[in-house]
Structure 1
Amino acid sequence: MTSSAERMRAWAVPALLSYGFRPFFLGAGLWATLSMVIWITMLGGLDPLPIAMAPVEWHAHAFLFGFLGAVMAGFMLTAVPNWTGRLPITGWPLAGLVALWGLGRVAMAVSGHLPMGMVAVAELSMPAVLALVIAREIVAGRNWRNLVILVLLAVFALGDGLFLWEAAQHGYAQGGVGLRLGLAAAVMMIGIIGGRIVPSFTRNWLAAQGAAAMPAAPMQVFDRIALAGLLLALAAWTAAPEHVLTGMLLLVAGALHLIRLARWRGHATLAEPLVTVLHVGYCFVPLGALGMGAEILLPGTLGMAAAQHLWMAGAVGLMSMAVMTRAALGHTGRALHASGGIATLYGALILSVAARVLAGAWPGEVWLLHLSAAGWIGAWGGFVAIYWPILTRPRLARKAPSGARPAA
């Protein structure tokens, strides 16, 4: 029998298909850029796609379920082998998953020429197969601790299906239960996974700098209380998005997660944007909860669409960018350091979110929407330009220590 190391060395697949993060992160970046360009043309009164739903419905779906679906797939297919100790999915099976995701994008783009049932099958095939793959890996590796991530993936896919059903019924899908369920699953996943990686990566970096004070260890009692509060608030918002109690629960959850974030010493990481951006991205979780809670209790504070973008573009968009830029560097043998170009991506994305929120507060200032779109396209188009060679070329060989002889 061959060892895992021997099997890994025997892989004979293109670099792009050697790990899940490579094709899915690249696809996510390309789709984030292209879908925003398409959305701008739609806002300009053009009909570039034969879609079967309102343009704003397509826009909401393209970002939440299209873009984030690829990010989730890339992250899970990379993280699960680390969690379970099993080999990653590579080669043709990985290519098949990517093809299913692409099939969903095409089906949504030409949905006006297809039965909605066929569109739904094409769109939901990737998350369904991904869930089966992740379930197999978790069970085989007896990694029961991460079953919650599989549950959240299933809830996310259910939200996708409900969104499509609501769109087919002409039921205002961009404000329906399907979108809220999908977004709630995404925010909860950020709360759980972010609560592990943000303090851990921060601790690693601070320790390397010789710092004395360290962030609070992940998943302590307070973290569990904060996550329970977030889960309750998200459940209430999914079921009753305009209820006063929902607004109050969102405010409480936002306050708890601001405290949680403060315990991770993000202010001490300003010298390394690759770490700092994790804190900024996570900050949009409590900011979104506070903004939406305030809008429910005091309508007109920001506008619900603007407040929701604190989660949609802020928490989801920036945390995706933070995880993708870091994971791609680390898993391809590069130094965990944000170059000036990478730091600029973060700035452009933060500008995009800020402009979109301000556009809700000042609805007459249309230029803010254009600025937001430009920042988004610049951030994700820049990601593709910088990370294309990183994601498509083989992993860099580790340098031998000074004075050491190279291995045979």
Structure 2
Amino acid sequence: MSTAQQRRAYAGPAIFSHGFRPFFFAGAVWSALAAPLWIWGLFGGPAVVGSRDWHVHEMLFGFLPAIVAGFLTTAVPNWTGRMPVIGARLAILWSLWLLGRVAMLFQDRLGPFAALADSLFLLAFSAVIWREVTAGRNWRNLPVCLMTSLLALANIAFHLDAALGLNGLGARLAMAAACLLLALIGGRITPSFTTNWLRQRKATVLPKAFSVVDKIALAATGLAVAGWTLAPQSLPAGAGLMIAGALCLFRLTRWRGLRTLAEPLLAILHLSHAWLGFGLGLLGASIIWPQLVPGPAGIHAITAGAVGVTCLAVMCRASLGHCGRALSADGATIAIFAAINLAAVARLIAALWPAQTPTLLAAAALLWSLAYGGFALAYGPLLWRRRL
């Protein structure tokens, strides 16, 4: 049977009929809860959720991998033509992710077992993606496999950071993997979806085809984040990040983004890539001119901005498309797009304006929760029901 026939033959619970369904829903709910939990812990609540390490871990290794898993377990079968990961196998994979979230909440009581339990999901997920891509001889997507492995290794490094004195290597590895995934997959789907949308409207000027410009931007991004991961305070790394950011923004100008403003579901993809270019440049500037640009500004332009906005954009589009709905943003979708961008702006200003940090952190957390909680409320009924 084809991939589509195998999906249609599935007779189990709808939530486990596609990878995006459980992972997008659970990732959104967890993200909406984790941000205010951290603020609560930061200002007098439980110490475990108030720690910086828990916050960083749950954003980079809890929320982000859930969305990546939802996207890839849905997309890879289409790339390879192989049997999709659905039903019991998908439920087991999702359960490993959930086990990690519970383990990290109770890490004070579980000790080393928490790190072990948390590491299982990314290792299993990476193995699944490697198996499907290689078995399907889909060599074009080997870089995606490498990024999933990098996330799994970064998570292990994060847990070993204190014991081995890695100085934040795990978090930087995860951010590097995230930047590469955004540059690679975002750079693939954004011009492709834009081209299809413009052709439907008989436009004659279309996004530029993938060319040497894109290859140079991807290579520059890879080299820059690799240099920053290994030497986060070096001037060459800062310069490399600024160059990579500029190339990402130049690449974006070739995709006709201004012509998509009439459809927010498409325009948000262009805006998310702009966050990536801006974030890379800002992170580089914080290394070269630390007295002018605080380091956290670039970090949060990438994480809250590029990662937060891209994940939500992909979640909304994939959910509508795979659930048989029109690819158009309704009022609720536009509202959550506005909330996530305002959350990123508030988090960025908090890094630039220390005097107002508590207020701005609370505002950013609230807006973030409104965005992802709003997704869970607006799209949850679609994700739990069968496709129209």
**What secondary structure sits across from 2:326 in the alignment?**
coil
- Of 91, 97, 104, the residue aligned with 2:93 is 97
Preserved contact between residue 3 and residue 78 of structure 2 (Cα < 8 Å)? no
Query: 71, 74, 77: which is aligned to 1:75?
Result: 71
**Which amino acid in 1 is paired with 2:187?**
G
Q: How many equivalent pairs are there?
A: 387
Instruction: Supply the distance in 1 between the matched residues of 2:360 and 2:5 (Cα, whole angstroms).
Output: 54
Confirm or deny: 8 A CA contact 1:84 1:141 kept in the other structure.
yes
Q: Is there any run of 5+ residues in structure 1 with no aligned partner, and where?
A: 397-408
Is 1:109–2:108 an aligned residue pair? no
The aligned counterpart of 2:183 is 191
Give the C-alpha shift of residue 131 in structure 1. 1.6
Aligned to 1:401: none
- In the TM superposition, structure 1's runs of 4+ consecutive aligned residues that sit over 6 Å from their partners are none
CA distance in 2, matches of 1:19, 1:300: 48
Aligned twin of 1:284: 275
Whole-angstrom CA distance in 2 between matches of 1:269 and 1:159: 36
Partner of 1:404 in structure 2? none
Q: Whose radius of gyration is greater, 1 or 2?
A: 1
Distance in structure 2 (CA, Å) of the matches to 1:99 and 1:279 = 33
| 2:190–2:270 contact (8 Å) kept in structure 1 | yes
User: Does the residue aligned with 2:208 lie in a helix, a strand or coil?
Assistant: coil
Which deviations, in whole Å up to 9, do the C-alpha atoms of 1:336-361 show, x marking residues without a partner?
00101101111000000001111111
Equivalent in the alignment of 1:153 = 148
Aligned to 1:381: 373
**Contact map agreement 1:302 1:357 (CA 8 A) in 2:** no
Check if 1:137 corresponds to 2:132: yes
Q: Post-superposition shift, 1:141?
A: 1.2
User: Is the alpha carbon distance of 1:87 and 1:304 closer, same or farther for their aligned partners in structure 2, counting shifts above 3 Å?
Assistant: same
Q: 2:312 is matched with which residue?
A: 321
Normalization by structure 2: what TM-score? 0.97
Query: Which residue pairs with 2:301 in the alignment?
Result: 310
Stretch moving more, 27-36 or 119-128? 119-128
- 2:239 paired residue number: 248
1:214 maps to 2:232: no
SS at match of 1:364: helix
Partners of 1:197 and 1:27 in 2: CA distance: 24
- Aligned residues of 2:154 and 2:170 also touching (Cα < 8 A): yes
Letter of the structure 2 residue corresponding to residue 77 of structure 1: T
SS in 2 for 1:353: helix
Question: Which position in structure 2 is the counterpart of 1:29?
Answer: 28
Q: 1:168 to 1:390 in 2, by over 3 A?
A: farther
Q: Tell whether 2:123 aligns with 1:128.
A: yes
Cα gap change, 1:3 to 1:295, in 2 (>3 Å): closer
Among all aligned residue pairs of Structure 1 and Structure 2, give the percentage whose two residues are the same amino acid. Answer: 46
Say yes or no: does 1:60 pair with 2:56: yes
Render the CA deviation track for 1:109-144: whole Å, top value 9, x for unaligned.
Answer: 11111232x222211111111122112211221101
Contact 2:3 2:81 in 1 (8 A): no
SS of the residue aligned with 1:36?
helix
Question: How far is 1:87 from its partner?
Answer: 2.6
- Tell me: CA distance 1:6–1:223, structure 2 relative to 1, closer, same or farther (3 Å): closer
Q: In the TM superposition, what is the alpha-carbon distance from 1:37 to its structure 2 partner?
A: 1.8
8 Å CA contact retained: 2:39, 2:361? no
Aligned to 1:403: none
Distance of 1:300 and 1:61 partners within structure 2: 28
Q: Which runs of 5+ in 2 are unaligned?
A: none
List per-residue Cα deviations over 1:284-339 (Å, max 9, x = no partner): 11111110111111113331112200111111111000111000000010000010
- Counting only pairs closer than 5 Å after superposition, residues 259-274 of structure 1 correspond to structure 2 as 259-274=250-265
SS at match of 1:45: coil
Partner residue in 1 for 2:228? 237
CA drift of 1:8 comes to 3.5
Q: By how many angstroms is 1:209 displaced?
A: 1.6
> 2:31 matched to 1:39?
no
Secondary structure at 1:338's aligned position in 2? coil
Matched, 1:335 2:334: no
Contact 1:345 1:379 in 2 (8 A): yes
What's the C-alpha RMSD, in Å, of the aligned pairs? 1.5
Q: Report if aligned partners of 1:41, 1:48 keep a CA contact under 8 Å in 2.
A: no
Which stretch has the larger CA shift, 323-332 or 39-48? 39-48
What is the rounded CA distance, in whole Å, between the counterparts of 1:343 and 1:26 in structure 2?
Answer: 18
1:98 is displaced (CA, Å) by 0.5
Q: Is the 8 A contact 1:301 1:361 kept in 2?
A: no
Q: Does 1:353 align with 2:353?
A: no
Equivalent AA in structure 1 for residue 145 of structure 2: L
Cα distance change on mapping 1:6 and 1:46 into 2, 3 Å: closer
